[in-house]
Amino acid sequence: MLFASVALAALAVLLAWPVPLVVARASWPSRAPGTALVLWQAVALAGGLSMIGSLVTYGLIPFGSTIFEGLSQLVHYFFAGTLPPAANLAHIFALCLAVLLAGHLLLNLGLTLVRTERQRSRHLSLINLLSAPMPDRPGTRVLDHPAPVAYCLPGMSRSVTVLSEGLVTLLDADQLQAVIAHERAHLRQRHHLVLVAFKSWHTALPWFPIANRAETAVGLLVEMLADDQARRVVGDATLATAIALVASEGADRPEGSTLEGLHAGDTATGFASQRVKRLVDHQEPLSAAARASVFAAATLLLLAPTVLLVLI
């Protein structure tokens, strides 16, 4: 299993730094945000599996020639209270580190999900008190605030789209329709689940620079995906104008809007300008062959650590 451990470690290093950098700096994701989002998820999953798998396979070397034999023997020696003669401190440390790392990532994901759901529940209660239903638009509420704000609150039982009076006043009917379509696309496609997963990864590994880059890249991609749904309802020019108006007038708007603050940070992060440029430039969608290549690469990324763990 030494070969598998070394190969998994090498793959983990590649997926921790150079590969995400190449994807983050590429120009094609804006032409196929859904495809790019699949690739980012594959990079994150394969990277985590490779990192933990490398530690596990190295730690199991004294226990057997395959991972299944090693795990079986590990259980046997554990209950027997002994260790095989070839086992040393490095092997035990690797196994303990693998358990701690996997537990840390899973526990952090669970805590992030619970914390986020509680925040949304409290936010929804406040919105119900401080806003009013929008006539003729079910699931949409209007908040009495002068700053232009639009965001969605996904929930387990009920989701709502929240607009401010400032936004309703600022935009014309078509532009307002574009914003509502954008927010409902977030809800329909459940973007909050993807964002929570990458937020959890960043929170669990705050010292890991690529985790922050991945969270930012995925945040922009889900905005582009929602834009693609909105542009089916209104024209590109209308949507671009709405984004630009909200960004230019919303410098002093409150924190905590759309999908845990993504829209509130549009101006600061450059999301708005990139979204507008994408719509104004009328970029051609990525070709079917290119999309297939990316999907193939994502599939290979997920298969590689699995094959190394199971077959070698």
How far apart are alpha carbons 179 and 173 in whole angstroms?
10
Distance of CA 158 to the CA centre of its chain: 22
Q: Which amino acid is at 29?
A: P
How far apart are alpha carbons 113 and 56 in whole angstroms?
27
How far apart are alpha carbons 42 and 302 in whole angstroms?
6
Structure tokens belonging to residue 245? 């108006």
pLDDT tens column, 154-186: 977 788 999 999 999 999 999 999 999 999 999
Q: Is the pLDDT of residue 264 over 50?
A: no
Of the two residues 311 and 247, the one the predictor is more confident about is 247
Name the pLDDT band for 250 (thresholds 50, 70, 90).
low
The whole-number average pLDDT for the span 199-223 is 90
Structure tokens belonging to residue 79? 């209950």
Q: Give the lowest-confidence range in 9-18, 120-129, 202-211.
A: 202-211
Q: Is the pLDDT of residue 255 over 60?
A: no
First vs last C-alpha separation in the chain:
7
Phi, psi of 33 (to 5 degrees): -60, -35
How far apart are alpha carbons 2 and 267 in whole angstroms?
49
pLDDT at 290: 97
* Strand order through the sheet with 131-133: 131-133, 140-143, 160-164, 150-153
Name the pLDDT band for 260 (thresholds 50, 70, 90).
very low
Which H or E run includes 153? strand 150-153
Q: Is the pLDDT of residue 253 over 50?
A: no
Question: For the chain, which residues make up each domain, given as ranges?
Answer: 1-87+286-312, 105-281
How far apart are alpha carbons 185 and 197 in whole angstroms?
19
pLDDT tens column, 57-84: 999 999 999 999 999 999 999 999 999 9
pLDDT at 270: 65
pLDDT at 209: 72
Structure letter (DSSP) for residue 255: S
The whole-number average pLDDT for the span 140-167 is 91
How far apart are alpha carbons 94 and 48 in whole angstroms?
15
The whole-number average pLDDT for the span 31-53 is 96
> pTM of the entire structure?
0.90
How far apart are alpha carbons 272 and 243 in whole angstroms?
6
